[in-house]
Amino acid sequence: MAEQILLEFRPSNQSQPSPPNATSCDNAQDAWDLLHRVLPTFIITVCFFGLLGNLLVLSFLLLPRRRLNVAEIYLANLAASDLVFVLGLPFWAENVWNQFHWPFGGLLCRTVNGVIKANLFISIFLVVAISQDRYRALVHPMASRRWRRRRRAQATCLLIWAAGALLSTPTFLLRSVQALPDLNISACILLFPHGAWHFARVVELNVLGFLLPLAAIIFFNYHILASLRGRAEASRTRCGGPRGSKTTVLILTLVAAFLLCWAPYHVFAFLEFLVRLQALQGCFWEEVTDLGLQLANFFAFINSCLNPVIYVFVGRLFRTKVWELYKQCTPRSLMPMSSSHRKEIFQMF
């Protein structure tokens, strides 16, 4: 969820900021050339599968034209957020392909970057909301009946979208297209009016955008797993098998995907902040953070492709929705749904 989703420049000794591949060190030029050629292809691939997966999720949730339950409201908002996010990736791919020359004008510079950043925060906050909803449903099933209401879920999603818009405001306001004569490009850059903004950005990115959500996700899922372990024996007796094991695997997959996709970016973002403070100096650290941020952005992008796979396709909800849609397309769709199938629809796992 970077401020520099498309590109952020580090101040240099010159009057103009310099891009990450324009440091005084030339050792990484081959690596940058390779990145300019290869990375756009991977970004477009992520965009394609992200569009396909999230569109399928939304279609299976919305096509039956019935009221969504609480879990489905969160899933639909997550798919919508990831869908909006991946729509901005072709601009980022073209930017990298052009060696960070921005050909789309100032308005799209601000809009694309702002929308991308907003939806990155929205996506992560929705992951927390989904974990919290599962926590209430599985750990406190009786009390959750009062809290797990459609209106509460809708209000929570509305607040999350508002928070994402608020956190992306600096990007909308401070992004602009600047000409860099030394590089013969016009780049879409983020220029802070004061050095204190860099500290605020680190707090926003690393704390609000990663550490606190990660702590919440670990807390909720730890208690979910503990509750499932406590019910495992009874579940085997009643259902003839370890029903909770599939849910356990799914929960662990969620946390692992979140860590693998987002941890690299936040590590490099913090290292980049240390370079700005000159706590880390030298060509090595400049090249490592500059290249690392670009590659780590790509891993963060992958999360928008994995979300529909993990939350829906791996879970029981997707299979239930496919079956429901199939019945609507056959003569049997007029038959009432059995109680067992109706119960499954209101479960996420």
For the residues 58-62, what does the mean pLDDT come to? 85
Q: What is the pLDDT of residues 243-255, one digit of tens each?
A: 455 666 777 777 8
Which pLDDT score, from 0 to 100, does residue 246 have? 64
Q: What is the pLDDT of residues 83-141, one digit of tens each?
A: 998 998 999 889 888 888 899 988 999 999 999 889 889 988 998 998 898 888 888 87
Which pLDDT score, from 0 to 100, does residue 309 have? 78
**Domain spans of the chain?**
29-345
Distance CA 99, CA 93 (A): 10
- At residue 215's C-alpha, the angle toward residues 213 and 220, to 5°, is 95
Q: What is the pLDDT of residues 177-192, one digit of tens each?
A: 888 888 788 888 888 7
CATH of domain 29-345: 1.20.1070.10
For the residues 303-315, what does the mean pLDDT come to? 76
Q: Are 21 and 29 in contact (CB under 8 A)?
A: yes
Distance CA 51, CA 287 (A): 33
Residue 13 pLDDT > 50: no
Mean pLDDT over each residue of the chain, to the nearest integer:
77
For the residues 24-28, what does the mean pLDDT come to? 59
- Determine whether 235 is exposed, middle or buried from the number of CB atoms within 10 Å of its CB (0-12, 13-18, 19+): middle
For the residues 215-234, what does the mean pLDDT come to? 83
Which pLDDT score, from 0 to 100, does residue 128 have? 92
- Of the listed ranges 280-284, 297-301, 341-345, the one predicted with least confidence: 341-345
For residue 334, what is the DSSP state?
G
Distance CA 217, CA 263 (A): 14
Q: What are phi and psi of 18, to 5 degrees?
A: -115, 145
Which pLDDT score, from 0 to 100, does residue 59 have? 86
- Determine whether 107 is exposed, middle or buried from the number of CB atoms within 10 Å of its CB (0-12, 13-18, 19+): exposed
Structure pTM?
Answer: 0.79
Q: Are 95 and 101 in contact (CB under 8 A)?
A: yes
